[in-house]
Structure 1
């Protein structure tokens, strides 16, 4: 299934994804601050043997990564580094474009869009969709698309898709995707990220 289609309607209590256009999976996780001694291409069996016991521990920082079209993706299985590290999306976007898509059970969705080391648009739905609660140099960049999807970017109305579906669609519009099979069947580039230094 193309794009992020398998995620719609799926029970995903934690979603921490980082995407970068034009990078390879190893380049992406290196920019995210991976521990280079842990990085390798692993079969799913080896990946689970090595990380299965700590896969969803928030302090283990396990990440898997791959490619979809022109985008590299990185999935943090238990950590939130993509939103806890304020500079991560900027670092990843140096010379390119990067997107962070984070969601948890609150429910909250955080969408960050950066270009060439600069945060362009940051939206955290725990606050609201309203302009005064956004960050970035162009907080209105995606307003037209949000309205086209029947959301109201001047209020908290996410429209018929809900907050998750809304930002899945915005990400897909950028060409972003993550095949489900790449997470569970094919060999995956994986390792651990280094925790953010306060």
Structure 2
């Protein structure tokens, strides 16, 4: 399966202990970075060697906010290599969605996955597995917190009882697929084979 056809499929089962992704539809990668609050003077198209030379010592520093960005179909993506501004800054997904739609997909080494979907500056659905992992009312947010329940059910999840069952894809794979079904994706070759935009984000406001 090609990366273009697979969306985020190449991530399933991969050892990615930390993932912070922001997507926005029908904007360019540079526009997405600007909406996320990038230091403009750090933004450039860098090949893999130049990227490592510039940011290699900072890649997994949480407060360095190193980010790469690119395009996949109608969607721009931004990948934070070691930080989580996409969830620290609760307005980020709203800014990213101005005039369009945006998605945030985040997880860390704890059993936490956060999925945010916003349209035109409004949070439509927020799902967080940190507390109960069964998406009880307190684990949901937005104007339509049950927007994706039909899709989750179709993917084999049973998240409305005391026992959480994420189906054949597992917890992370389930939310990968939920995001992927919206059309988002990343070509795996963008990670280490092709020149892409990169830079550093401004830290969230205190």
Aligned residues: 198
Q: CA deviation at 1:196?
A: 0.5
SS in 1 for 2:191: helix
Please give the root-mean-square deviation of Cα atoms over the aligned residues, in Å: 0.9
1:78-128 alpha-carbon deviations (Å, 9 max, x no partner): 100000001000010000000000011112110000000000000111123
Q: How does 1:23-62 map to 2 (within 5 A)?
A: 23-62=27-66
Q: CA deviation at 1:43?
A: 1.1
1:176-198 alpha-carbon deviations (Å, 9 max, x no partner): 11011011110010000000111
Gaps of 5+ in 2: none
Distance in 1 (alpha carbons) for counterparts of 2:20 and 2:138: 24
SS in 2 for 1:159: coil
- Whether the 8 Å CA contact 1:63–1:193 is kept in 2: the answer is yes
Q: Paired residue for 1:12?
A: 16
Q: Paired residue for 1:196?
A: 204
Q: Select which of 164, 176, 194 maps to 1:186.
A: 194
Q: Paired residue for 1:133?
A: 139
Matched, 1:145 2:170: no
SS in 2 for 1:72: strand
Q: Paired residue for 2:98?
A: 94
Gaps of 5+ in 1: none
Q: CA deviation at 1:151?
A: 0.5
TM-score, normalised relative to structure 2? 0.94
- Whether the 8 Å CA contact 1:131–1:153 is kept in 2: the answer is no
Q: Select which of 108, 113, 117 maps to 1:109.
A: 113
Q: Paired residue for 2:126?
A: 122
Distance in 2 (alpha carbons) for counterparts of 1:133 and 1:55: 31
SS in 1 for 2:69: strand
